[in-house]
Chain A
């Protein structure tokens, strides 16, 4: 991982919150007692990332100024959390979990399927700038492994086919249904309920 950002060709010269986000940022800051504004650093960085898709240096500096922080304090936070993207990412950021439980459930094939469908490797963005493929650590959804995280949604219980279907849908600009792709409800047993089977209204 590169540290000091020597190559900053992709960094925009400036950043400004949109009017709507600015209002939300100020509302967030107001949640904290006077003198404790720095607590709002993560919500504000998240807001910046939602606006631009990633957190640029200019955005971090704007956040630092809004919270009366030294810029380095914001850099520390933004670089600590891998969920803040420090480089531009595509419209759809596919984050494939490859930790142990997902791996045991075939995440390697999922990664390969993504690579084949998108034509890019891990950590790369497609030429049209629509998709970025990343490998991430445990997403905390092991019971539904393997998992891909796109935008605000988890796509779980993936198979090579369902992965390809999701990517195809995204390519068409559709909104594929998040959650378990195998049809089970949430994390209910894959083979159907084993308890409370007589409960009325149970649809699984």
Chain B
């Protein structure tokens, strides 16, 4: 390991480390624009110049590997002069429009110009201007401000795997762009906004709405998919202005999917802000007391077997445990958190988790995708698969939809018969899996949310067992969920109890009149037509399909408005934080259920958040765990003949999957741009 001296301090680092990385280790700050630790090194901004002894001129520290005995100086007059020179060049063509630039206040160029910029310009010639461009509804380019660091090009090409940006023309005329005008079609395109060190790429829906120093920052968790990306919710007053990713190397690194970033305008629209009761066929605004009394009266009038509860995809664990306790105490076992009908959750915990972990993908050396399109279902996780893929020696095969996943893979077909062939070893890909040291498979909801889902799950288990996916220290069996609530719900056993009905039986029971009351805890992705004559209670944040059908609406809080627990697809327990208060009279979800229980004469046994959280741990100790724990393997899935229907992804429109994104105007624009009119619109658009 080479030893070098930086500013008189000695440091020993691994060979291949760059001077900049070594300096970062020592906490010595080197300014940079083009260098980013998660992107390929470009070395083109020249801001990171340092002096290296015996080198005739300053060197770019981001691209210079350390050498034994190197003596580096980062704070000499030469270095300062060099950096000032670079800064002067960068500012030659950079417009002086910071007062009207959205990046103002959080701009790397602005910050570094404070340290290295001159107090006046010497440039008297004309500045260049770049024609206005459009990258679609999410990213707003103002390329006159561009300093050509190429971070966005490297991200879109290497990380997102959708090479649509490049540098065209040259010299004075160099422009970063798509050349042919088009909307960036990556689901991760919003990340180039964060990467851009200047105001060339900014958040289009957020444009001119707030300044960075006005915002209150709350660290939270994303719930638009089951990855549980770590986010920061930026608010002003009682309004969510924007959402940006936080670094968590185990989950999302520092990326965020476009839906998670841009659907937040949906938090302001279609909101349920007061309780409603249906009177003479019309929903009428009422007081909380009246709404709760109406529900409690109905609950008390029906026997346990005739009431049922369904939890939606964004329900938090606190609300689900409260709902489960309430319904159990009322004598009902008709509970289900799998509104899509996924045949999963009855086996051991390992049967419904992403067991390798998201970071574990990087260790794997073979991958089989079953009935999933991770690009649409979990874009950040897909970027991790691509990251592994780009390192090479990672055979990927897919049984399911044939689509562009941003990496090359072998398409084995869409029929379940292929799975049976892999399981019995007659398919050539079985040999690939067996030859791998750490093979993995990912089974998606496209395979599980069907009538033969448990058979397919059984086949996947068989593949895992026969092809050596499960061994000491490695469990390559992975389930990719699409709902943030799902693993939490399964961990809590928000499932039909003994003699209880599952989602299909609840709906058919409601159709036939056997179920008298259905409690929808944010469940909108069901066929509300099938609720028949049942008394429907909808508790949730948005006026979507469920609320339209409801007889009583209890306004709940969205994920930015409550301290709530979610378990991601890996089984990682994470909490959202209250960033803004719920609108109007809406309340945190578990509190609504707690109040309702009291009205119905049931004592849940907890009165505060600590009590609910203690109850979560009592129901399942995993809620007390730090990080995902390795789950035990066991028997699960069913034997049988799977149907010959092709496996498909459950998501055809990435931009609209839940009540919040369906209420979002930005997501509607994305749908129009990327999905087109062919998309079947649902919910409130109907």
Contact = CB atoms under 8 A, between A and B. Distances in A.
Please classify the interface of chain B as helix (H, G, I), strand (E, B), loop, or mixed, using the class held by over half of its residues: loop
Given A3-B179, A4-B179, A72 B165 contact: yes
A79 B167 CA distance: 9
Contacts of B391: none
A30 interface: no
A79 B177 contact: no
B189 to A, nearest CB: 14
Interface in A1-19: 1-6
B166 A57 contact: no
Contacts of B178: 4, 72
B169 A5 contact: no
B180 interface: yes
B402 to A, nearest CB: 18
A172 B234 CA distance: 72
Nearest to B157: A70
A76 B131 contact: no
A57 B168 CA distance: 13
Nearest to B130: A3
A70 B163 CA distance: 6
Nearest to A8: B180
A3 B180 contact: no
Contacts of A177: none
A6 B180 CA distance: 7
A6 B131 CA distance: 10
A5 B179 CA distance: 6
A31 interface: no
A3 B131 contact: yes
Nearest to A78: B168
A171 interface: no
A2 to B, nearest CB: 7
Nearest to B164: A72
B173 interface: yes
B175 interface: yes
A73 B167 CA distance: 9
Given A3-B131, A79-B169, A80-B170, A73 B179 contact: no
B163 A75 contact: no
Interface string B177-218: 111110000000000000000000000000000000000000
Contact of A2 (B131, B164, B165, B180): B131
Given A70-B163, A70-B164, A75 B170 contact: no
Nearest to A82: B170
Interface residues of A, number: 15
B133 interface: yes
Given A1-B173, A3-B177, A75 B131 contact: no
A75 B166 contact: yes
Nearest to A61: B180
Contacts, number: 53
Given A71-B180, A80-B169, A4 B163 contact: no
A79 B168 contact: yes
A72 B165 CA distance: 7
Residue of B177, B180, B181 most packed against chain A (CB within 10 A): B180
Contact of B169 (A1, A57, A72): A1
B476 to A, nearest CB: 29
A65 to B, nearest CB: 14
A3 B168 contact: yes
Contacts of B157: 70
A82 to B, nearest CB: 8
B389 to A, nearest CB: 15
Contacts of B130: 3
What is the size category of the interface that chain B forms with chain A?
10 to 19
Contacts of B170: 79-80
Contacts of B177: 3-4
A60 to B, nearest CB: 9
Given A3-B179, A4-B180, A73 B163 contact: yes
Given A1-B173, A2-B131, A3-B175, A76 B180 contact: no
A76 B176 CA distance: 10
Nearest to B134: A4
Given A3-B131, A79-B168, A72 B181 contact: no
B504 to A, nearest CB: 45
Nearest to B167: A76
Contacts of A73: 163, 166
Given A4-B131, A4-B133, A75 B173 contact: no
Contacts of B173: 1, 3
Interface string B143-183: 00000000000000100000111111110010101111100
Interface string A71-114: 11101100110000000000000000000000000000000000
Contacts of B169: 1, 3, 79-80
A76 B167 CA distance: 6
Contacts of A79: 168-170, 179
Nearest to A69: B163
Interface in B126-148: 130-131, 133
Contacts of A75: 166, 168, 179-180
Residue of B130, B168, B177 most packed against chain A (CB within 10 A): B168
Contact of B166 (A1, A2, A5, A72): A72
A156 B126 CA distance: 35
A5 B180 contact: yes
Interface in B24-82: none
A75 B178 CA distance: 9
B318 to A, nearest CB: 46
Nearest to A70: B163
A95 B670 CA distance: 46
B454 to A, nearest CB: 41
Contacts of A5: 179-181
Interface of A: 1-6, 57, 70-73, 75-76, 79-80
**Shortest 6 CB-CB distances between A and B: which pairs?**
A70-B163, A72-B166, A79-B168, A75-B179, A3-B175, A76-B166
13 contacts: A1-B173, A3-B173, A3-B177, A4-B179, A5-B180, A70-B157, A73-B166, A75-B166, A76-B168, A76-B179, A79-B168, A80-B168, A80-B170
Interface of B: 130-131, 133, 157, 163-170, 173, 175, 177-181
Given A3-B175, A5-B179, A72-B164, 4 more contacts: A3-B177, A4-B133, A72-B166, A75-B180
